Homo-oligomer: A and B are copies of this chain.
Amino acid sequence: YTVTAIDTRREAVDYAIENGIIDKGYHAVEQDAVGTADAVIFALYPHVFKEWIRRYQHLFKSGAFLTDVTGVKAGVVYEIQAMLRPDVEFIAAHPMAGREVSGVENSDESIFRKANYIVTPTPANSEVAVEWCKNLGRILGFAHISVLTPEEHDDKIAFVSQLTHCISVALMTCNGDPLLADYTGDSFRDLTRIAKINDVMWSELFLLNKDALLKHMDAFLAEVNALRQMIEEGDVAGMRKKMQLSAARRAAFDHPGR
């Protein structure tokens, strides 16, 4: 495949060319870059993504497939599909792979290999586009490819991704002890790896998925409060039952390829 990229950061484009990651790069939106592409993958903040489509969609080659990596779907997909030219198709996807650092200089294709790839079609999407997008996930090397509605996706992501980021942030902000690093074990490091968070992106993602996130935050808060009550009352049987359920459910995650 011939891979072309547009990035506002000139050094990112230079790095990608020098390291053989892309064939050609641009640091501004140009007809030459957009108009020749059979497929376009968007990695932009949601509001920038919408604005980009509004402003530049006239540049797309007729028949092009568009997809994305946006972390929320219902608040993005329908709006973009509604405004899009009828001769191009947007099929949304969420590659569930990322790092706590950003930029092409930190890119690592091996993170795809054990990861999930979720395609989120709407009734406006064609079978061909859904298959094309699933195949893109396969070509990129993802371990597991699935199809969900935008709403199903947002509900699951509110739990596995957005709630976990809220927890990680709250863990770092609830204690100001400057010497914690000297007394820390792996568990705390694991739970706060994602606490080095991109505040612009995540505050936007949280608000675009507010209802689902609040629902899962409330369920989580209820469970922490229940455990807190058991600890306060010395309810060993209750604590052990919760821990046994937790251990059994978590064990189910540890099968090959995940």
On A, residues with C-beta under 8 Å from B are 96-98, 111, 115-116, 118, 144, 146, 148, 153, 156-157, 159-161, 163-178, 180-200, 202-204, 206-207, 210, 213-214, 216-228, 231-232, 234, 236, 239-240, 242-247, 249-253, 255, 258
CB of B190 within 8 A of CB of A177, answer: no
CA distance in complex: A187, B242 (Å): 22
**Which residue of B has the minimal Cβ distance to A96?**
B185
> Which residues of chain B come closer than 8 Å to A178, judged between CB atoms?
252
Question: What is the copy number of this chain in the assembly?
Answer: 2
With A190-B190, A225-B221 already in contact, the answer to whether A240 and B203 are too (CB < 8 A) is yes
Contact A190–B193 (Cβ < 8 Å) = yes
Q: Give Cα A253 to B204, complex, Å.
A: 26
Query: Which residue of A182, A225, A240 has the most chain B CB atoms within 10 A of its CB atom?
Result: A182
A188 lies within 8 A of B168 (CB): no
A-B contact pairs, 11 of them (CB 8 A): A96-B185, A146-B183, A160-B184, A164-B187, A166-B227, A169-B223, A173-B245, A187-B193, A190-B193, A210-B231, A221-B221
Residue numbers in B under 8 Å from A165 (CB-CB) = 187
Identity of the chain B residue whose Cβ is nearest the Cβ of A250 in the assembled complex: B195
B180 pairs with A156, CB closer than 8 A: yes
Nearest chain B CB to A158 CB, angstrom units: 10
Contact A247-B196, Cβ < 8 Å, known A166-B224, A223-B174: yes
Q: How far is the CA of A145 from the CA of B245 in the complex (A)?
A: 36
Q: How far is the CA of A191 from the CA of B193 in the complex (A)?
A: 9
- How far apart are A221's CB and chain B's nearest CB, in angstroms? 6
Please state if B239 and A199 are interface contacts (CB–CB under 8 Å).
yes
Contact between A210 and B232, CB atoms less than 8 A apart:
yes
